[in-house]
Chains A and B, each alone.
Chain A
Amino acid sequence: MIETRGAIEAGKLNVQTVSKVFRRDGRTVRALDPVSVTIPEGRLISLIGPSGCGKSTLFNIIAGLLRPTTGDVLADGKSIVGRPGYVAYMLQKGLLLPWRTILDNVILAAEVRGVPRRESIARAQPLIARYGLGGFEQHYPHELSGGMRQRASLLRTMLYDRDVVLLDEPFGALDAQTRLLMQSWLLQIWSDFRKTILFVTHDIDEAIYLSDEIYVFTARPGRIKSHIDVALPRPRDQDVVTTASFMGLKRQLLDLLNEEARIAERQSSML
Protein backbone atom coordinates (compact mmCIF):
# COMPACT_ATOMS: atom_id res chain seq x y z
CA MET A 1 0.00 0.00 0.00
CA ILE A 2 2.90 2.28 0.81
CA GLU A 3 4.34 1.50 -2.61
CA THR A 4 1.25 2.69 -4.43
CA ARG A 5 1.17 5.92 -2.44
CA GLY A 6 4.81 6.47 -3.26
CA ALA A 7 4.07 5.98 -6.90
CA ILE A 8 1.23 8.49 -6.86
CA GLU A 9 3.07 11.16 -4.92
CA ALA A 10 6.37 10.95 -6.68
CA GLY A 11 8.81 13.38 -5.09
CA LYS A 12 12.39 13.59 -4.05
CA LEU A 13 11.28 13.01 -0.50
CA ASN A 14 7.98 11.58 0.69
CA VAL A 15 7.01 11.88 4.32
CA GLN A 16 4.09 9.52 4.75
CA THR A 17 1.78 9.77 7.78
CA VAL A 18 4.75 10.19 10.07
CA SER A 19 3.92 10.72 13.74
CA LYS A 20 5.84 10.66 16.98
CA VAL A 21 4.73 9.91 20.53
CA PHE A 22 7.05 10.30 23.51
CA ARG A 23 6.60 9.09 27.03
CA ARG A 24 7.81 11.62 29.58
CA ASP A 25 7.31 11.44 33.36
CA GLY A 26 4.86 8.62 32.82
CA ARG A 27 2.74 10.82 30.58
CA THR A 28 2.29 10.30 26.89
CA VAL A 29 3.17 13.32 24.80
CA ARG A 30 2.09 13.54 21.18
CA ALA A 31 4.90 15.53 19.63
CA LEU A 32 3.77 15.08 16.07
CA ASP A 33 0.40 13.97 14.71
CA PRO A 34 0.45 12.14 11.38
CA VAL A 35 2.10 14.38 8.81
CA SER A 36 2.41 13.76 5.10
CA VAL A 37 4.54 15.96 2.90
CA THR A 38 5.81 15.56 -0.61
CA ILE A 39 8.98 17.40 -1.42
CA PRO A 40 9.67 17.82 -5.14
CA GLU A 41 13.26 17.92 -6.30
CA GLY A 42 15.16 21.19 -6.25
CA ARG A 43 12.66 23.19 -4.25
CA LEU A 44 13.17 25.28 -1.16
CA ILE A 45 10.40 24.52 1.30
CA SER A 46 9.84 26.09 4.71
CA LEU A 47 8.18 24.68 7.78
CA ILE A 48 6.85 27.34 10.09
CA GLY A 49 4.98 27.07 13.36
CA PRO A 50 5.02 27.90 17.07
CA SER A 51 7.88 26.56 19.17
CA GLY A 52 7.48 23.01 20.36
CA CYS A 53 5.31 22.10 17.40
CA GLY A 54 7.43 19.13 16.46
CA LYS A 55 9.30 20.62 13.50
CA SER A 56 12.63 19.57 14.91
CA THR A 57 11.20 16.15 15.71
CA LEU A 58 10.15 15.79 12.08
CA PHE A 59 13.64 16.81 10.98
CA ASN A 60 15.25 14.28 13.28
CA ILE A 61 13.01 11.61 11.79
CA ILE A 62 13.83 12.59 8.21
CA ALA A 63 17.53 12.68 9.13
CA GLY A 64 17.21 9.09 10.36
CA LEU A 65 18.18 9.98 13.92
CA LEU A 66 14.76 9.26 15.40
CA ARG A 67 12.29 6.52 14.56
CA PRO A 68 8.73 7.64 13.89
CA THR A 69 5.93 6.03 15.89
CA THR A 70 3.97 5.56 12.67
CA GLY A 71 4.61 6.20 9.02
CA ASP A 72 7.53 6.09 6.69
CA VAL A 73 9.99 8.42 4.98
CA LEU A 74 10.83 7.61 1.37
CA ALA A 75 13.72 9.06 -0.55
CA ASP A 76 13.67 8.28 -4.27
CA GLY A 77 11.14 5.60 -3.40
CA LYS A 78 13.23 3.88 -0.71
CA SER A 79 12.65 4.04 3.03
CA ILE A 80 15.30 5.97 4.95
CA VAL A 81 13.77 5.52 8.39
CA GLY A 82 16.47 4.98 11.02
CA ARG A 83 19.23 5.39 8.45
CA PRO A 84 21.22 8.55 9.01
CA GLY A 85 23.38 9.88 6.22
CA TYR A 86 20.89 10.25 3.39
CA VAL A 87 20.20 13.92 3.98
CA ALA A 88 22.55 16.69 5.04
CA TYR A 89 21.26 18.08 8.32
CA MET A 90 22.27 21.35 9.88
CA LEU A 91 21.16 21.32 13.50
CA GLN A 92 19.75 24.34 15.24
CA LYS A 93 22.88 25.46 17.06
CA GLY A 94 25.19 25.19 14.07
CA LEU A 95 27.55 23.15 16.18
CA LEU A 96 31.16 23.36 15.23
CA LEU A 97 33.64 21.17 17.08
CA PRO A 98 35.36 23.77 19.27
CA TRP A 99 38.74 22.04 19.25
CA ARG A 100 38.96 21.96 15.47
CA THR A 101 39.97 24.77 13.18
CA ILE A 102 37.37 26.07 10.72
CA LEU A 103 39.00 24.09 7.93
CA ASP A 104 38.92 20.86 9.91
CA ASN A 105 35.30 21.52 10.87
CA VAL A 106 34.26 22.12 7.32
CA ILE A 107 35.75 18.88 6.02
CA LEU A 108 34.33 16.82 8.90
CA ALA A 109 31.76 15.02 6.77
CA ALA A 110 34.35 13.97 4.22
CA GLU A 111 36.60 12.80 7.02
CA VAL A 112 33.82 10.63 8.44
CA ARG A 113 33.38 9.06 5.01
CA GLY A 114 37.11 8.37 4.80
CA VAL A 115 37.97 10.80 2.01
CA PRO A 116 41.70 11.61 2.13
CA ARG A 117 42.37 14.92 3.85
CA ARG A 118 44.25 16.35 0.89
CA GLU A 119 41.36 15.70 -1.42
CA SER A 120 38.69 17.19 0.81
CA ILE A 121 40.79 20.29 1.46
CA ALA A 122 41.20 20.77 -2.28
CA ARG A 123 37.42 20.63 -2.60
CA ALA A 124 36.71 22.89 0.36
CA GLN A 125 39.35 25.55 -0.33
CA PRO A 126 37.63 27.45 -3.17
CA LEU A 127 34.29 27.38 -1.32
CA ILE A 128 35.77 28.73 1.90
CA ALA A 129 36.40 32.05 0.17
CA ARG A 130 32.89 32.05 -1.34
CA TYR A 131 31.42 31.50 2.10
CA GLY A 132 33.24 34.57 3.38
CA LEU A 133 35.61 32.53 5.49
CA GLY A 134 38.80 33.19 3.52
CA GLY A 135 41.77 33.76 5.80
CA PHE A 136 40.02 32.13 8.74
CA GLU A 137 40.78 28.50 7.86
CA GLN A 138 43.16 28.08 10.78
CA HIS A 139 41.00 29.94 13.31
CA TYR A 140 39.01 28.21 16.00
CA PRO A 141 35.23 28.64 16.14
CA HIS A 142 35.25 30.81 19.26
CA GLU A 143 37.39 33.33 17.43
CA LEU A 144 34.68 33.90 14.79
CA SER A 145 31.51 35.95 14.79
CA GLY A 146 28.13 34.25 15.03
CA GLY A 147 27.45 34.83 11.33
CA MET A 148 30.76 33.31 10.31
CA ARG A 149 30.18 30.30 12.51
CA GLN A 150 26.80 29.74 10.90
CA ARG A 151 28.33 30.05 7.43
CA ALA A 152 30.99 27.52 8.41
CA SER A 153 28.33 25.02 9.57
CA LEU A 154 26.36 25.69 6.42
CA LEU A 155 29.43 25.08 4.30
CA ARG A 156 30.04 21.83 6.16
CA THR A 157 26.45 20.84 5.51
CA MET A 158 26.75 21.66 1.82
CA LEU A 159 30.08 19.85 1.52
CA TYR A 160 28.34 16.76 2.82
CA ASP A 161 27.02 16.77 -0.71
CA ARG A 162 23.56 15.25 -0.34
CA ASP A 163 20.67 16.03 -2.66
CA VAL A 164 18.44 16.96 0.25
CA VAL A 165 19.45 19.51 2.88
CA LEU A 166 17.62 20.12 6.16
CA LEU A 167 18.22 23.46 7.86
CA ASP A 168 16.79 23.85 11.35
CA GLU A 169 16.52 27.57 12.10
CA PRO A 170 20.00 28.23 10.78
CA PHE A 171 19.79 31.99 11.27
CA GLY A 172 17.72 32.02 14.45
CA ALA A 173 20.49 33.27 16.72
CA LEU A 174 21.76 36.03 14.45
CA ASP A 175 21.03 39.74 14.62
CA ALA A 176 18.64 41.20 12.05
CA GLN A 177 21.29 42.69 9.76
CA THR A 178 23.40 39.55 9.57
CA ARG A 179 20.28 37.54 9.10
CA LEU A 180 19.27 39.46 5.97
CA LEU A 181 22.73 39.00 4.50
CA MET A 182 22.67 35.30 5.24
CA GLN A 183 19.27 34.89 3.62
CA SER A 184 20.30 36.47 0.32
CA TRP A 185 23.41 34.50 0.45
CA LEU A 186 21.54 31.22 1.07
CA LEU A 187 19.44 31.88 -2.04
CA GLN A 188 22.66 32.34 -3.98
CA ILE A 189 24.09 29.07 -2.66
CA TRP A 190 20.85 27.27 -3.35
CA SER A 191 20.74 28.36 -6.98
CA ASP A 192 24.40 27.40 -7.38
CA PHE A 193 24.09 23.93 -5.94
CA ARG A 194 20.52 23.11 -6.97
CA LYS A 195 19.75 21.19 -3.82
CA THR A 196 16.39 20.36 -2.35
CA ILE A 197 16.17 22.38 0.85
CA LEU A 198 13.85 21.97 3.81
CA PHE A 199 13.97 24.94 6.10
CA VAL A 200 12.57 25.38 9.60
CA THR A 201 11.98 28.92 10.82
CA HIS A 202 9.96 31.04 13.24
CA ASP A 203 10.25 34.07 11.05
CA ILE A 204 7.41 34.74 8.59
CA ASP A 205 9.37 37.18 6.43
CA GLU A 206 12.23 34.74 6.17
CA ALA A 207 9.88 31.92 5.17
CA ILE A 208 8.21 33.96 2.41
CA TYR A 209 11.39 35.52 1.13
CA LEU A 210 13.20 32.21 0.77
CA SER A 211 10.61 29.58 -0.07
CA ASP A 212 8.73 28.06 -2.96
CA GLU A 213 6.25 26.50 -0.56
CA ILE A 214 5.44 26.96 3.10
CA TYR A 215 3.95 24.40 5.45
CA VAL A 216 2.32 25.93 8.52
CA PHE A 217 2.32 23.69 11.59
CA THR A 218 -0.15 23.72 14.44
CA ALA A 219 0.80 23.95 18.10
CA ARG A 220 1.57 20.63 19.81
CA PRO A 221 0.69 18.01 18.79
CA GLY A 222 2.10 19.33 15.54
CA ARG A 223 0.37 18.65 12.27
CA ILE A 224 0.08 20.55 9.03
CA LYS A 225 -2.41 23.36 9.30
CA SER A 226 -2.02 24.64 5.79
CA HIS A 227 0.16 24.55 2.73
CA ILE A 228 0.93 27.78 0.92
CA ASP A 229 2.52 28.26 -2.48
CA VAL A 230 4.80 31.26 -2.69
CA ALA A 231 4.34 32.48 -6.23
CA LEU A 232 6.84 35.31 -6.05
CA PRO A 233 9.16 35.46 -9.08
CA ARG A 234 12.78 34.48 -8.78
CA PRO A 235 15.49 35.62 -8.49
CA ARG A 236 14.28 37.63 -5.51
CA ASP A 237 16.02 40.44 -3.72
CA GLN A 238 15.22 42.12 -0.43
CA ASP A 239 12.92 44.62 -2.16
CA VAL A 240 10.37 41.89 -2.65
CA VAL A 241 9.32 42.28 0.99
CA THR A 242 7.56 45.54 0.15
CA THR A 243 5.47 44.18 -2.72
CA ALA A 244 1.74 43.72 -2.39
CA SER A 245 1.84 39.97 -3.01
CA PHE A 246 4.45 39.58 -0.25
CA MET A 247 2.25 41.59 2.11
CA GLY A 248 -0.76 39.47 1.23
CA LEU A 249 1.10 36.27 2.04
CA LYS A 250 2.39 37.79 5.24
CA ARG A 251 -1.14 38.76 6.34
CA GLN A 252 -2.34 35.24 5.63
CA LEU A 253 0.53 33.62 7.54
CA LEU A 254 0.21 36.00 10.48
CA ASP A 255 -3.43 35.04 10.89
CA LEU A 256 -2.65 31.36 10.69
CA LEU A 257 0.20 31.61 13.17
CA ASN A 258 -1.40 33.94 15.70
CA GLU A 259 -4.01 31.35 16.43
CA GLU A 260 -1.43 28.66 16.98
CA ALA A 261 0.87 30.89 18.99
CA ARG A 262 -2.01 31.52 21.42
CA ILE A 263 -2.59 27.79 21.80
CA ALA A 264 1.12 27.17 22.27
CA GLU A 265 1.30 29.86 24.92
CA ARG A 266 -1.59 28.33 26.85
CA GLN A 267 0.16 24.95 26.69
CA SER A 268 3.41 26.28 28.06
CA SER A 269 1.71 28.24 30.84
CA MET A 270 -0.02 25.03 31.96
CA LEU A 271 3.33 23.32 32.56
Chain B
Amino acid sequence: MNDAEPTKVVDDVVDDDEAAERRVRRYSAIWRWSLGAGLVVAWEVLTRLKVIDPYYFSSPFTIVNTAYVAATQGSLFVDIGYTSAATIVGFIVGVTAGAVLGLSTWWSKVYGRVSEPYLVTFNAIPKLALAPILIILFGIGFESKVALAVALTIVPAALAAYGGVKSVDRDLETLLFSLGASRFQVFSKVVVPWAMPWIVSSLRVNIGLALAGAIVGEFIASRYGVGRMILYAGQIMDINLVWVGVVVLSILALVMYVVVMTAERYLLKGMLHGSQLSTQ
Protein backbone atom coordinates (compact mmCIF):
# COMPACT_ATOMS: atom_id res chain seq x y z
CA MET B 1 0.00 0.00 0.00
CA ASN B 2 2.78 2.36 0.90
CA ASP B 3 4.63 2.37 -2.37
CA ALA B 4 1.62 3.20 -4.48
CA GLU B 5 2.18 3.89 -8.12
CA PRO B 6 3.24 7.45 -8.82
CA THR B 7 0.42 9.56 -10.15
CA LYS B 8 0.41 9.62 -13.90
CA VAL B 9 1.16 13.09 -15.12
CA VAL B 10 -1.21 14.15 -17.84
CA ASP B 11 0.37 17.25 -19.24
CA ASP B 12 -2.85 19.10 -19.97
CA VAL B 13 -4.23 18.62 -16.49
CA VAL B 14 -1.25 19.86 -14.50
CA ASP B 15 -1.78 23.37 -13.21
CA ASP B 16 1.06 25.55 -14.31
CA ASP B 17 0.43 29.17 -13.38
CA GLU B 18 3.57 30.39 -15.08
CA ALA B 19 2.72 28.74 -18.38
CA ALA B 20 -0.79 30.15 -18.15
CA GLU B 21 0.62 33.60 -17.47
CA ARG B 22 2.98 33.28 -20.44
CA ARG B 23 0.06 32.30 -22.66
CA VAL B 24 -2.01 35.27 -21.54
CA ARG B 25 0.91 37.58 -22.16
CA ARG B 26 1.56 36.20 -25.63
CA TYR B 27 -2.06 36.40 -26.70
CA SER B 28 -2.53 39.91 -25.37
CA ALA B 29 0.60 41.06 -27.20
CA ILE B 30 -0.60 39.55 -30.46
CA TRP B 31 -4.06 41.08 -30.09
CA ARG B 32 -2.72 44.45 -29.05
CA TRP B 33 -0.50 44.86 -32.08
CA SER B 34 -2.92 43.40 -34.58
CA LEU B 35 -5.75 45.58 -33.28
CA GLY B 36 -3.58 48.71 -33.73
CA ALA B 37 -2.40 47.61 -37.16
CA GLY B 38 -5.97 46.71 -38.14
CA LEU B 39 -7.25 50.14 -37.19
CA VAL B 40 -4.56 51.86 -39.22
CA VAL B 41 -5.20 49.64 -42.24
CA ALA B 42 -8.96 50.16 -41.94
CA TRP B 43 -8.43 53.93 -41.78
CA GLU B 44 -6.30 53.82 -44.92
CA VAL B 45 -8.66 51.54 -46.84
CA LEU B 46 -11.85 53.33 -45.84
CA THR B 47 -10.49 56.73 -46.85
CA ARG B 48 -9.30 55.36 -50.19
CA LEU B 49 -12.73 53.89 -50.83
CA LYS B 50 -14.18 57.27 -49.83
CA VAL B 51 -16.31 55.60 -47.20
CA ILE B 52 -14.98 58.26 -44.89
CA ASP B 53 -14.01 61.65 -46.24
CA PRO B 54 -10.22 61.92 -46.61
CA TYR B 55 -10.48 65.71 -46.60
CA TYR B 56 -11.45 65.74 -42.93
CA PHE B 57 -9.98 62.47 -41.76
CA SER B 58 -6.81 62.38 -43.85
CA SER B 59 -5.21 58.93 -44.04
CA PRO B 60 -2.19 57.22 -42.53
CA PHE B 61 -0.15 57.50 -45.75
CA THR B 62 -0.89 61.16 -46.25
CA ILE B 63 -0.09 61.84 -42.61
CA VAL B 64 3.29 60.14 -42.88
CA ASN B 65 4.05 62.05 -46.08
CA THR B 66 3.00 65.34 -44.58
CA ALA B 67 5.07 64.60 -41.50
CA TYR B 68 8.08 63.87 -43.70
CA VAL B 69 7.69 67.19 -45.47
CA ALA B 70 7.15 69.02 -42.19
CA ALA B 71 10.26 67.39 -40.76
CA THR B 72 12.54 68.01 -43.74
CA GLN B 73 11.26 71.36 -45.01
CA GLY B 74 9.42 72.65 -41.98
CA SER B 75 10.34 72.84 -38.35
CA LEU B 76 8.64 69.73 -36.97
CA PHE B 77 11.60 68.61 -34.88
CA VAL B 78 12.13 72.05 -33.43
CA ASP B 79 8.43 72.12 -32.53
CA ILE B 80 8.56 68.70 -30.91
CA GLY B 81 11.65 69.72 -28.93
CA TYR B 82 9.99 72.95 -27.83
CA THR B 83 6.79 71.30 -26.65
CA SER B 84 8.66 68.47 -24.93
CA ALA B 85 10.98 70.87 -23.14
CA ALA B 86 8.12 73.06 -21.93
CA THR B 87 6.24 69.97 -20.74
CA ILE B 88 9.17 68.41 -18.92
CA VAL B 89 10.35 71.63 -17.26
CA GLY B 90 6.79 72.51 -16.25
CA PHE B 91 6.20 68.97 -14.96
CA ILE B 92 9.35 68.91 -12.85
CA VAL B 93 8.85 72.40 -11.43
CA GLY B 94 5.13 71.86 -10.81
CA VAL B 95 5.47 68.45 -9.19
CA THR B 96 8.44 69.46 -7.05
CA ALA B 97 6.82 72.66 -5.86
CA GLY B 98 3.52 70.86 -5.27
CA ALA B 99 5.18 68.06 -3.33
CA VAL B 100 7.13 70.53 -1.20
CA LEU B 101 3.95 72.48 -0.53
CA GLY B 102 2.00 69.36 0.43
CA LEU B 103 4.78 67.95 2.59
CA SER B 104 5.24 71.25 4.38
CA THR B 105 1.78 70.85 5.92
CA TRP B 106 3.27 68.27 8.30
CA TRP B 107 5.09 71.00 10.20
CA SER B 108 1.97 72.73 11.45
CA LYS B 109 -1.51 71.32 11.88
CA VAL B 110 -3.05 74.79 11.73
CA TYR B 111 -1.19 75.66 8.57
CA GLY B 112 -2.29 72.37 6.99
CA ARG B 113 -5.92 72.88 7.93
CA VAL B 114 -5.88 76.46 6.67
CA SER B 115 -4.35 75.56 3.31
CA GLU B 116 -6.52 72.52 2.55
CA PRO B 117 -9.69 74.38 1.40
CA TYR B 118 -7.59 76.73 -0.71
CA LEU B 119 -5.84 73.83 -2.41
CA VAL B 120 -9.16 72.13 -3.08
CA THR B 121 -10.67 75.35 -4.43
CA PHE B 122 -7.70 76.08 -6.63
CA ASN B 123 -7.84 72.52 -7.87
CA ALA B 124 -11.44 73.06 -8.96
CA ILE B 125 -10.67 76.18 -10.99
CA PRO B 126 -10.20 75.37 -14.68
CA LYS B 127 -6.60 76.55 -14.78
CA LEU B 128 -6.63 76.78 -18.57
CA ALA B 129 -8.88 79.80 -18.12
CA LEU B 130 -5.87 81.51 -16.57
CA ALA B 131 -3.89 81.03 -19.78
CA PRO B 132 -4.40 84.55 -21.21
CA ILE B 133 -3.30 86.09 -17.92
CA LEU B 134 -0.22 83.86 -17.72
CA ILE B 135 0.70 84.76 -21.30
CA ILE B 136 0.43 88.45 -20.47
CA LEU B 137 2.46 87.90 -17.33
CA PHE B 138 5.21 85.73 -18.79
CA GLY B 139 5.20 86.80 -22.44
CA ILE B 140 4.73 84.66 -25.52
CA GLY B 141 8.02 82.80 -25.04
CA PHE B 142 8.97 79.54 -23.34
CA GLU B 143 8.22 80.80 -19.81
CA SER B 144 4.48 81.13 -20.32
CA LYS B 145 4.21 77.51 -21.55
CA VAL B 146 6.12 76.32 -18.51
CA ALA B 147 3.93 78.50 -16.28
CA LEU B 148 0.78 76.89 -17.65
CA ALA B 149 2.18 73.40 -17.18
CA VAL B 150 3.10 74.33 -13.59
CA ALA B 151 -0.33 75.83 -12.94
CA LEU B 152 -1.94 72.57 -13.98
CA THR B 153 0.35 70.20 -12.09
CA ILE B 154 1.16 71.97 -8.84
CA VAL B 155 -2.17 71.48 -7.07
CA PRO B 156 -2.70 67.78 -7.82
CA ALA B 157 0.86 67.13 -6.61
CA ALA B 158 0.29 69.22 -3.47
CA LEU B 159 -2.99 67.47 -2.71
CA ALA B 160 -1.38 64.07 -3.20
CA ALA B 161 1.48 64.92 -0.85
CA TYR B 162 -0.97 66.39 1.67
CA GLY B 163 -2.97 63.15 1.55
CA GLY B 164 0.21 61.22 2.24
CA VAL B 165 1.16 63.47 5.15
CA LYS B 166 -2.29 63.11 6.70
CA SER B 167 -2.02 59.34 6.64
CA VAL B 168 1.45 59.04 8.19
CA ASP B 169 1.54 56.31 10.83
CA ARG B 170 1.72 58.17 14.16
CA ASP B 171 3.41 55.20 15.76
CA LEU B 172 6.34 55.47 13.37
CA GLU B 173 6.69 59.13 14.34
CA THR B 174 6.59 58.13 18.01
CA LEU B 175 9.24 55.50 17.36
CA LEU B 176 11.59 58.08 15.88
CA PHE B 177 10.94 60.52 18.71
CA SER B 178 11.63 57.76 21.23
CA LEU B 179 15.05 57.37 19.63
CA GLY B 180 15.69 61.02 20.38
CA ALA B 181 15.15 62.17 16.79
CA SER B 182 14.66 65.86 15.98
CA ARG B 183 11.53 67.01 14.16
CA PHE B 184 13.55 67.38 11.00
CA GLN B 185 14.77 63.79 11.30
CA VAL B 186 11.22 62.54 11.79
CA PHE B 187 10.24 64.52 8.71
CA SER B 188 13.01 63.21 6.50
CA LYS B 189 13.09 59.62 7.76
CA VAL B 190 9.37 58.96 8.18
CA VAL B 191 7.10 61.60 6.65
CA VAL B 192 8.79 62.02 3.27
CA PRO B 193 9.22 58.31 2.50
CA TRP B 194 5.70 57.62 3.78
CA ALA B 195 4.16 60.23 1.47
CA MET B 196 6.30 59.17 -1.48
CA PRO B 197 3.85 56.62 -2.94
CA TRP B 198 1.11 59.26 -2.84
CA ILE B 199 3.27 61.77 -4.70
CA VAL B 200 4.44 59.18 -7.19
CA SER B 201 0.89 58.05 -7.91
CA SER B 202 0.06 61.60 -9.00
CA LEU B 203 2.90 61.65 -11.55
CA ARG B 204 1.07 59.77 -14.31
CA VAL B 205 -1.84 62.18 -14.29
CA ASN B 206 0.47 65.15 -13.98
CA ILE B 207 2.61 64.37 -17.02
CA GLY B 208 -0.54 64.46 -19.14
CA LEU B 209 -1.64 67.72 -17.53
CA ALA B 210 1.77 69.30 -18.11
CA LEU B 211 1.58 68.41 -21.80
CA ALA B 212 -1.92 69.86 -22.05
CA GLY B 213 -0.70 73.06 -20.36
CA ALA B 214 2.19 73.47 -22.76
CA ILE B 215 -0.03 72.90 -25.82
CA VAL B 216 -2.70 75.34 -24.71
CA GLY B 217 0.03 77.91 -24.09
CA GLU B 218 1.21 77.39 -27.64
CA PHE B 219 -2.33 77.66 -28.96
CA ILE B 220 -2.78 81.08 -27.47
CA ALA B 221 0.46 82.73 -28.46
CA SER B 222 3.74 81.18 -29.51
CA ARG B 223 6.35 81.10 -32.20
CA TYR B 224 7.19 77.40 -31.82
CA GLY B 225 5.72 74.16 -30.63
CA VAL B 226 3.44 71.39 -31.85
CA GLY B 227 0.44 73.30 -30.47
CA ARG B 228 1.31 76.34 -32.58
CA MET B 229 1.79 74.10 -35.61
CA ILE B 230 -1.69 72.62 -35.19
CA LEU B 231 -3.27 76.04 -34.77
CA TYR B 232 -1.45 77.37 -37.83
CA ALA B 233 -2.40 74.33 -39.90
CA GLY B 234 -6.04 74.78 -38.91
CA GLN B 235 -5.99 78.42 -39.93
CA ILE B 236 -4.68 77.61 -43.43
CA MET B 237 -7.07 74.63 -43.67
CA ASP B 238 -4.17 72.14 -43.91
CA ILE B 239 -6.03 69.36 -42.15
CA ASN B 240 -3.35 66.81 -42.96
CA LEU B 241 -0.88 68.87 -40.95
CA VAL B 242 -3.36 69.06 -38.06
CA TRP B 243 -3.42 65.29 -38.08
CA VAL B 244 0.37 65.19 -38.05
CA GLY B 245 0.22 67.34 -34.90
CA VAL B 246 -2.34 65.07 -33.27
CA VAL B 247 -0.34 61.94 -34.03
CA VAL B 248 2.91 63.51 -32.87
CA LEU B 249 1.30 64.61 -29.60
CA SER B 250 -0.15 61.14 -29.04
CA ILE B 251 3.27 59.58 -29.48
CA LEU B 252 4.81 62.23 -27.24
CA ALA B 253 2.23 61.58 -24.53
CA LEU B 254 2.78 57.83 -24.79
CA VAL B 255 6.56 58.13 -24.53
CA MET B 256 6.34 60.42 -21.50
CA TYR B 257 3.83 58.13 -19.84
CA VAL B 258 6.12 55.15 -20.26
CA VAL B 259 9.09 57.13 -18.93
CA VAL B 260 7.09 58.18 -15.86
CA MET B 261 5.92 54.61 -15.31
CA THR B 262 9.50 53.38 -15.37
CA ALA B 263 10.56 56.16 -13.00
CA GLU B 264 7.73 55.16 -10.65
CA ARG B 265 9.04 51.67 -10.34
CA TYR B 266 12.46 53.04 -9.48
CA LEU B 267 11.15 55.64 -7.02
CA LEU B 268 8.94 53.16 -5.22
CA LYS B 269 11.58 50.49 -4.82
CA GLY B 270 11.07 49.23 -1.31
CA MET B 271 8.74 52.10 -0.50
CA LEU B 272 5.52 50.19 -0.60
CA HIS B 273 4.21 49.91 2.90
CA GLY B 274 1.27 49.38 5.21
CA SER B 275 -1.18 51.33 3.12
CA GLN B 276 -0.32 49.45 -0.06
CA LEU B 277 0.45 46.05 1.38
CA SER B 278 -1.56 44.51 4.15
CA THR B 279 -1.03 46.16 7.51
CA GLN B 280 1.36 44.32 9.76
Which secondary structure characterizes the binding site on chain B? helix
| Interface assignment of A231: CB less than 8 Å from any CB of chain B | no
Interface size on A, residues (CB 8 A): 25
Give per-residue flags for B127-157: 1 if the beta carbon is below 8 A from chain A beta carbons, else 0: 0000000000000000000000000000000
How far does the alpha carbon of A84 sit from the alpha carbon of B175 in the complex, in Å?
10
Q: B177 contacts the other chain (Cβ, under 8 Å)?
A: yes
Q: Does B259 contact A (CB under 8 A)?
A: no
Give the A-B pair count, Cβ closer than 8 A.
58
**Interface contact B178-A91, CB-CB below 8 Å:** yes
In the bound assembly, the distance between CA atoms of A206 and B50 in angstroms comes to 86
User: Which stretch, A36-44, A95-103, A127-135, A211-219, touches the partner chain B?
Assistant: A95-103
State which residues 128-147 of A face B: CB under 8 Å: 140-142
Q: Is the CB of A160 within 8 A of B277?
A: no
CB of A112 within 8 A of CB of B277, answer no
Asked if B181 and A112 make an inter-chain contact with CB atoms under 8 angstroms apart, the answer reads yes
In the bound complex, do residue A160 and residue B270 qualify as a contact, i.e. CB atoms below 8 Å apart? no
B277 near A93: Cβ-Cβ < 8 Å: no
CA of A116 to CA of B271, assembled, Å: 23
Q: What 1/0 flags go to B168-186 for Cβ under 8 Å of A?
A: 0001101111111100010
- If A98-B274, A99-B270, A149-B280 touch, does A112 touch B178 (CB 8 Å cutoff)? no
Instruction: Give Cα A126–Cα B79 distance, bound, in whole angstroms.
Output: 60
Q: A97-B172, A149-B280 are in contact. Are A109 and B179 (CB under 8 A)?
A: yes
Per the 8 Å Cβ criterion, residues 201-231 of B in contact with A are none
B273 touching A98 by the CB < 8 A rule? Answer: yes
In the complex, the chain A residue whose C-beta lies closest to that of B278 is A142
Least CB separation from A93: chain B residue? B171
A78 CA to B181 CA, complexed, in Å = 21
B277 touches A108 (CB 8 A): no
- Residues in chain B near residue A111, CB distance under 8 A: 189
Any A CB within 8 A of the CB of B272: yes
A158 sits at the interface (CB 8 A): no
Digit string of B86-124 for contact with A (CB within 8 Å is 1, else 0)?
000000000000000000000000000000000000000
Interface of A (DSSP majority class) = loop
- A91 and B270 contacting across the interface, CB-CB below 8 Å: no
Q: Which residues of A contact B177 (CB under 8 A)?
A: 65, 84
Contact assessment for A98 and B180 in the assembled complex, using a CB-CB cutoff below 8 Å: no
B54 at the binding interface (Cβ < 8 Å): no
Q: Which residue of chain B lies nearest to A99 when distances are taken between CB atoms in the complex? A: B271
CB distance from A57 to the nearest CB of B (A): 13
Instruction: Decide yes or no: A85 and B270 within 8 Å by CB, A65-B174, A93-B280, A95-B171 being known contacts.
Output: no
Residues of A71-101 whose CB lies within 8 A of B: 84-85, 89, 91, 93-95, 97-101
How distant is the Cα of A111 from the Cα of B274 in the complex, in angstroms? 23
**A65 contact set on B, CB distance < 8 A:** 174, 177-178
Does the CB pair A97–B277 fall under 8 Å? Answer: no
Report how far A20 CA is from B79 CA in the complex, Å: 68
* Residue from the set B172, B180, B190, B196 with the largest chain A CB neighbour count within 10 Å: B180
Contacting residues, chain A, for B193 (C-beta < 8 A):
97, 99
Considering the complex of A and B, which 7 residue pairs feature the smallest CB-CB distances, nearest first? A85-B180, A98-B273, A99-B271, A89-B178, A112-B181, A109-B179, A112-B179
User: Can you name 18 A-B pairs with beta carbons within 8 Å?
Assistant: A65-B178, A85-B179, A89-B178, A97-B189, A98-B272, A99-B193, A99-B196, A99-B270, A108-B176, A108-B179, A108-B189, A112-B176, A112-B180, A112-B185, A113-B180, A141-B280, A142-B280, A149-B280
Binding site for A on B (CB under 8 A): 171-172, 174-181, 185, 189-190, 193, 196, 270-274, 277, 280
